[in-house]
Structure 1
Amino acid sequence: MEFKAISGIRIEAITAALPVKTIGKEDFSAMYGEKNAARVARGTGISAIRTADGLSTEALITAAAQQLLNNVNVTSDDIDGLIVVTQTPDSWSPGTAFAVHHRLGLKSGCFVATVNDGCAGYVNGMIQAASLISSGAFKKVLLCTGDINTRLVDDADYQVRMLFGDAASATLIGSGTETVNFINGTDGSGADMLGVKINYEKGAQSTASVATLKMDGAAVMSFALKRVPEVVNALLDQVGIKKDNVDLFALHQPNEFLLNYLINLLGVEACKVPIDVNGIGNTNSTSIPLLLTRRANLNERNDIVLCGFGVGLAWNAMHVNLSDTALIAPVEVYAVA
């Protein structure tokens, strides 16, 4: 695995946004029957999820970004780069970053980019944002993630419907003295294991239709159990840090069952690998920053490992120092009536 590093940056602040509405145990029991709902909850550790019913992706992302700007000494005029990671855009074109740029009132000279990425998207987005800062061409880059996954799932497929939730995040990266070290990997041959197809067919008012999310759960789990320990161990070997000295392993949050398996394979204390998926669901690229902001009382933040894995297939691990990072509690967002 190829080890890489980006220097001259600082992760200034991280926050997130969660829709207020929850679909819980009673709701799922009414939808799928008590036995089916209980079986999924028992097997995954997820009995409730957040749903952004009535909210757009750009609205949820903007709420996270505004929460960040409201809590740091930075204005919208200071932002000269915006990267938005999403797989549930509100429009096919232009990209969601343009809508977020407009909603936030960012300056016209701000660079914007929309990235179609999933479960590994936060670290991949961090690589891009940090690269812009390290180049010297940018001073403040806002990295946003956000998906309304509940739009994409088949409501009849309860084994998938009960797993995915909605959320967004915002991270501010600026110039500094820190270095992020990382390893990333890709295997496009596994694209059919997890994803959403587009069917192109011209009609009177449309040119394509978006299929529902499909997942080969067994294959995805096998992939994660192989790649996550592999990439985390390789990263720590390269950085020269022992597992016992890592303050926190912030892993992508697919479900409790898989995360417990990974804790055993990694051979680390469970308290260093927090699980925070029940009541939220799998939120794709937002799960890592959401986890961090809901662990804002973390005492030691010098050595933190971020690890994303999933859609692509893609996987990555990044070592970061968050000792000087503001971890801002998530804002809860109400749908507009």
Structure 2
Amino acid sequence: MKSHFTNSVIKGIAASIPIGGVDLSSLSTLYGADEVKKIIASTGIEQVRVAKEGHCASDLCAAAAEELLAKLEVNPSTIDGIVFVSQTPDYKMPATSVLLQHRLRLPTAAVAFDINYGCSGYVYGLYQASMMIEAGGCERVLVCVGDTSTKLVHPGDRSVRMVFGDGGSATLVEKGESISNFILKTDGSGAESLIIPAGGSRKPYSEETSIPIEAEDGNIRSEETIRMNGMEIMSFVLREIPPMINELLDVTCWKKDEVGTYALHQANKFMLEYLRKKMKLPKHAVPIAVSTVGNTGPASIPLMLSIKQQELFERDRLQKVICCGFGVGLSWAACSVDLSSTLILDPIEL
């Protein structure tokens, strides 16, 4: 699906991460020093951030939102929409966006949406906010995107424990003259490539689903924790992302080398560098910021922009930006945006 918007502007972006984390080198006694060194070298991840006990994605997003609104000097009463994108909501019900509406003191007239998406979720959130504004119902929409996915990881599963970290973000989208283009795609036939089999209505939690089992690859997981087929995800990304970005460039009428920043989902260093080389992009055009935070799922794009914002601003690489997320679903989405006038804050530690 393709969409073209002309009346929505990204006013500001903020991101937050837990102050505490796990240094992957400390896992050498559990997984073996050679294995840990190998994973660090390939993923580029040296530390993953882990939310405090009792902290949820909403806490990280709320901290980012409060900081962003304060710096922009925006009164919460002027926000008439909120979108919360996450796979780790506070509760099964009610919607977390509703809780954030109250917590952030948004007016009761504000419309609130939850979107259950992962790695493509930031672009989906921007798309939803843009639609709400372009339709005329809203003038300011707060997009809160984040996950505390470490809560969904079995400690014996090195394939995900040494990759996923927790993070949150807040992006303010408001009415204004700007051009953006979106392409969104879905393929549910690949759903089992990245899935938590138990815990929903299809297969409720039970004593049986909580039993950890050692898989063929030596990793330990239960049906209640993340199960990822890394090779299938990698194959999907390399097959689908380059042509979608080329399609977006055609729609936007941008040349490949005109784009200042390709803000790609921060899965890991190996995947991003492979994508960059496949698309024949210069190294500076594909920033990587995973070393001290890990793969933060839907928050990874705004978090990368937050970490790299000074460098990107100083090098004038924010006027033409392509954001692209991909992963669980399978789902992938990209958009072209202008961030040259966007306030992007340094990451907040919570």
| Structure 1 residue identity aligned to 2:348 | V
Please, which of 287, 310, 318 is the counterpart of residue 274 of structure 1? Answer: 287
Q: 1:56, CA displacement in angstroms? A: 2.0
Superposition map of 1:1-337 within 5 A: 2-54=1-53, 55-199=55-199, 200-201=203-204, 211-297=224-310, 298-299=312-313, 300=316, 301-333=318-350
1:56–1:3 Cα change, 3 Å: closer
**Does the CA-based 8 Å contact 2:48-2:164 persist in structure 1?**
yes
Q: Secondary structure at the match of 2:4?
A: strand
| Structure 1 residue identity aligned to 2:186 | T
Q: Which deviations, in whole Å up to 9, do the C-alpha atoms of 1:222-249 show, x marking residues without a partner? A: 0000111011111101211111111100
Q: Secondary structure at the match of 2:109?
A: coil
Q: Secondary structure at the match of 2:77?
A: helix
| Structure 2 residue identity aligned to 1:121 | G
Query: 2:114 and 2:3 mapped to 1: Cα distance?
Result: 23
1:46–1:109 Cα change, 3 Å: same
| Structure 2 residue identity aligned to 1:320 | V
Q: 1:39, CA displacement in angstroms? A: 2.2
Return 5+ residue gaps in structure 2 as ranges: 208-221
1:25–1:202 Cα change, 3 Å: closer
| Structure 1 residue identity aligned to 2:252 | V
| Structure 2 residue identity aligned to 1:131 | M
C-alpha RMSD over aligned residues: 1.6
Query: 1:198 and 1:6 mapped to 2: Cα distance?
Result: 39
Identity fraction in percent:
39
Aligned residues: 328
Q: Which moved more, 1:3-12 or 1:227-236?
A: 3-12
| Structure 2 residue identity aligned to 1:328 | L
Q: Which deviations, in whole Å up to 9, do the C-alpha atoms of 1:33-64 show, x marking residues without a partner? A: 32222122122221211111322222111111
Query: 1:166 and 1:68 mapped to 2: Cα distance?
Result: 19
Q: Which moved more, 1:53-62 or 1:300-309?
A: 53-62
Write out the 4+ residue segments of structure 1 that deviate beyond 6 Å after TM superposition: none
| Structure 1 residue identity aligned to 2:112 | V
Query: 2:157 and 2:205 mapped to 1: Cα distance?
Result: 28
TM-score, structure 2 as length reference: 0.90
